[in-house]
Structures are given as structure tokens and as C-alpha cells.
Amino acid sequence: MTEKKKNQEESGWGTFLMGSAFSSLFGMVQGMLEGWQLRTRAWTQKLVRHLGLLFFSILGIILCLVGAARLLDAFYGREGMGEVVVGGSILSLALLLYILDRNDMNN
């Protein structure tokens, strides 16, 4: 009978130690997952804010360019001339930036 009681005590301590080891491991994994979740949520919110800012910036630039083209149409007195001037300016700027970027890559 004492042998049976001794085995029960050993299994009780073993179960207790294993249970506490697993609970601490579980707590550590749970803490890491919560940290990842918070970082992911913050990153997603930042991404949404930046995409919204980018969208409204592009929309504002487009509206300014359309307005400038209409003003140039009125200035030159010919339909479509403003779009040609604004489009040519944008293409010239893009070409200049391409050339400067290509030179930086070669150096």
C-alpha cells in the first residue's frame, strides 16, 4: 500500500511540474502572439493611413494639372493646347528623372 501511495505522490508531482512547465510555455507563446497581433494591427493602420494620403495626393495633383491645362487652353485660345503643354512638361520631367536615376545607378 505504501508503494501505491508513493507512486501516486510521484505522479502527482510529475503532473504538477509538467503542468506548470506547459502553462509557462503556453503563456510565453500567447504573449508572443499578442505582441505580433499588436504590431500587425499598428502596421496595418499605418499602411491604410499612408495609402489614403497617397490617394488624396494623387487626386489633388491630377485636379491641379487639369486646372492648369484648362487655364492654358484659355490663355492660348485653342482647345487641347493646355493638355499638350502640361503633358509635354510631365513627360520632360519624367525623362529628366529617368536620366538622373540612370546616372546614379552607373556611379
**To which residue does cell 499578442 refer?**
34
Torsion angles phi and psi, residue 37, rounded to 5: -65, -45
What is the count of structural domains for the chain? 1
Is the pLDDT score of 10 beyond 60? no
Determine the average pLDDT of the residues in 61-82.
Answer: 92
Work out the burial of residue 10: count CB atoms within 10 Å of its CB; fewer than 13 is exposed, 13-18 middle, 19 or more buried: exposed
CA dist 35 and 5 (Å) reads: 45
pLDDT tops 80 at residue 106: no
pLDDT digits (tens, 9 = 90+) for 12-26: 656 666 667 777 777
CB 85 within 8 A of CB 96: no
Which residue range forms the structural domain that includes residue 87? 2-106
Q: Does residue 80 contact residue 66 with C-beta atoms inside 8 Å? A: no
Is this prediction's pTM over 0.95?
no
